[in-house]
Structure 1
Amino acid sequence: MSCPICAKPTDPKTRPFCSRRCADVDLAKWLSGDYAVPSREPEDIEAAIEAVENLPPKPH
């Protein structure tokens, strides 16, 4: 298995990365939103919130 950041062989201590540095680079990408999954719907978050608020109440 190779490191997803630099393609070097992985280290069992930091798997799936080769080093702590590559693990930190990956974490920074997650935190900055580089790995965000694009949304197809709804385009406008406010419209989505409004749609949920207007749903009829569920019987309990």
Structure 2
Amino acid sequence: MPVVNCPTCQKKVEWTEANKFRPFCSERCKQIDLGAWAEEKYTIPGAPADDDLIPDQDNL
């Protein structure tokens, strides 16, 4: 059975259906990661989006 590191605390976690929090080791680590996403701590590298290319909803 595969073993992965928890993305939050790096604890070894078995990747099985019995682990309902996979790839996390616990509900706590899962919530910490969700909070980081909500606070926009994770970003995808790349050029910023050009807002001029997005149509304005009022002008459709």
TM-score by length of 1: 0.62
Structure whose residues are more often strand by fraction: 2
Partner of residue 18 from structure 1, selected from 25, 39, 49: 25
CA distance in 2, matches of 1:31, 1:41: 19
Structure 1 Cα separation of the partners of residues 48 and 20 of structure 2: 40
For 1:24, what is the secondary structure of its paired residue?
Answer: helix
Between the two structures, name the one with larger relative contact order (CA 8 Å, sep ≥ 6). 2
SS in 2 for 1:10: strand
1:10–1:19 Cα contact (<8 Å) kept: no
Q: Which runs of 5+ in 1 are unaligned?
A: 54-60
**Runs (5+) with no aligned partner, structure 2:** none
Separation in 2, partners of 1:33, 1:40 = 17
Whether 1:33 and 2:35 are equivalent positions in the alignment is no
Deviating beyond 4 angstroms after TM superposition, the runs of 4 or more aligned structure 1 residues are none
**Does structure 1 residue 2 correspond to structure 2 residue 2?**
no
| Identity between Structure 1 and Structure 2 (%) | 39
Of Structure 1 and Structure 2, the greater helix share is in: 1
